[in-house]
Chains A and B, each alone.
Chain A
Amino acid sequence: MNQEQNDVVVSVRDLHVNFYNNNRCNKVLRGISFDLHKRKIMCIVGESGCGKSVTANSIMLLLPDLARIEKGSIDFYYRGKDIRIDQLKRKGKEMRQLRGAGMSMIFQDPMTALNPVFTVGSQINEALLYHGQAYNKKEATEKSIELLKDMGISLPEQRVREYPYQFSGGMSQRAMIAMAMSCRPKVLIADEPTTALDVTIQAQIFDLMLDLKNSNDTAILLITHDMGVVAELADDVAVMYMGNIVERGDARAVLTRPTHPYTKALLDSIPVLGRGKNQNLKPIKGSTPDPYNRPNGCQFAPRCSYCTEECASRMPDESWIEGGHMCRCFHSLPIRKEGIHD
Chain B
Amino acid sequence: MTDQHQNQIQKGEYGDQNILIKVRGLKTWYPIRTGLFKKISGYVKAVDNVDLDIYRGEVLGVVGESGCGKTTLGKSILQLIKPYSGEVRYQFHDGEKNLCTMPKEKLDNVRNKLQIVFQDPYSSLNPAFTIFGSMEEPLIRFGMKSKSERRRKVAELLKEVNLPENYMERYPNEFSGGQRQRIGIARALSVDPEFVVCDEAVSALDVSIQAQVLQLLIDLKKKRHLTYMFITHNLSVVEYISDRIVVMYLGHIVEVADTDELFQHTLHPYTKALLSAIPIADINQRRKRIPLQGDVPSPVHPPNGCPFHPRCPQCMEICKRVVPEPVTQIRNGRSHMVCCHLVKQQSEKETV
Residues of A within 8 A of B (CB): 47-48, 152, 154, 168-171, 198-204, 207, 225-233, 251-252, 255-256, 265-267, 269-277, 279, 281-284, 287-288
Contact = CB atoms under 8 A, between A and B. Distances in A.
Given A232-B279, A232-B280, A265 B239 contact: no
A274 B283 contact: no
Contacts of B273: 200
13 contacts: A198-B233, A198-B296, A199-B235, A203-B292, A204-B292, A232-B286, A256-B284, A266-B208, A272-B280, A274-B285, A276-B239, A276-B259, A287-B178
B260 to A, nearest CB: 6
Contacts of B236: 228, 270-273
A269 B212 CA distance: 8
A233 B283 CA distance: 10
Interface string B261-300: 0010000000001111111111111100101111110000
B277 A228 contact: no
Interface string B54-80: 000000000001100000000000000
A211 to B, nearest CB: 13
B281 A227 contact: yes
A62 to B, nearest CB: 24
Contact of B215 (A227, A281, A288): A281
Interface residues of B, number: 45
Given A47-B208, A168-B295, A287 B280 contact: no
B207 A283 contact: no
Interface in B30-47: none
Given A271-B240, A274-B263, A287-B176, A47 B206 contact: yes
B279 A226 contact: yes
Interface string B216-238: 00000000000000000101110
A256 B208 contact: no
A207 B237 CA distance: 24
B233 A270 contact: no
A198 B232 CA distance: 11
B214 interface: yes
A170 B295 contact: yes
Nearest to A224: B279
